[in-house]
Amino acid sequence: MTIEKPLRADARRNREAIVAAAREVFDAGRFFDMRFDDLAGLAGVGTGTLYRNFPTREALAEAVYHSEIATLSSRARHLLTTRSADEALAVFLREMIDHIDAHHGLACTLATLISADSGSPAASGRELEIAVAELVAAGVAEGSLRDDVDAGAVMMALHGIGAAHARPGWRVEADGVVTLVLDGLRRRDPSGG
């Protein structure tokens, strides 16, 4: 088993600059229209630095994907520390719809590049599911959410919403699906009140 050495500060900055530039290009839907080498210039690094960090488009896509998942997972955990669990989940799901809407080009590019990958993106996606599971578990613990629905169902709903992005009226329907998911997750008062 090899242990990776931490990157020097300048190497870490270069890597982050490449990922940030790629994210913007992915989001604009221009990734397939440009030469891979051109990303180096957009990131302000040399081509050697680009290829040393990311020898292929797929390797870069995986890094962008991991970065996105880490950011979204961190946001879910932050909401849990600042709001009630029920409210944290509601805000997170609504923000996910905003994210899907604002960054649909990014999602499409990543899906195209990663579709045949080795499974590591699935492992990274699991990180987001764990963060959502923490939101759901906190809601169950505080008594605001049912205990018979798990994070997998919430993630499936989010995937379905994202997959339907091309539908006319998508945004309104997406908000409606989130409302349905939240209503379905909330614990009901057995007395009907």
pLDDT above 60: residue 182: yes
Taking Cα atoms as reference points, which of 90, 98, 101, 96 lies closest to residue 73? 96
Count of beta carbons in the 10 Å neighbourhood of residue 41: 13
Higher-pLDDT residue of 57 and 136 is 136
Closest CA to 125 of 63, 174, 164, 70: 70
Could you tell me if 92 and 185 are in contact, meaning their C-beta atoms sit under 8 angstroms apart?
A: no
pLDDT tens column, 148-180: 988 989 999 988 888 888 899 999 999 999 999
Output the CA–CA distances (angstroms, integers) from residue 15 to 20, 133, 155, in the order listed: 9, 30, 30
DSSP string, 53-118: H-SSHHHHHHHHHHHHHHHHHHHHHHHHHHS-HHHHHHHHHHHHHHHHHHTHHHHHHHHHHHTTS-
Strands (E) in 12-67, as ranges, are: none
Within 10 Å of residue 186's Cβ, how many Cβ atoms?
14
Using an 8 Å Cβ cutoff, are 124 and 65 in contact? Answer: yes
Tell me: the pLDDT tens digits for 2-55? 556 676 888 889 999 999 999 888 888 787 788 888 999 999 999 999 999 999
In order of their start, the domains of the chain are 7-55 (1.10.10), 57-185 (1.10.357.10)
Q: 20 vs 38, 64, 125, CA distance in Å?
A: 14, 8, 19
Per-residue pLDDT tens digits for 66-108:
888 899 999 999 999 999 999 999 999 999 999 888 888 777 7
Q: What pLDDT was estimated at residue 116?
A: 46
Q: Closest by alpha carbon to 60, among 11, 104, 25, 10?
A: 25
Q: How far apart, in whole angstroms, are the C-alpha atoms of residue 79 and residue 34?
A: 38
Cβ pair 21, 50 in contact under 8 A: no
Short-list 112, 98, 72, CA closest to 162: 98
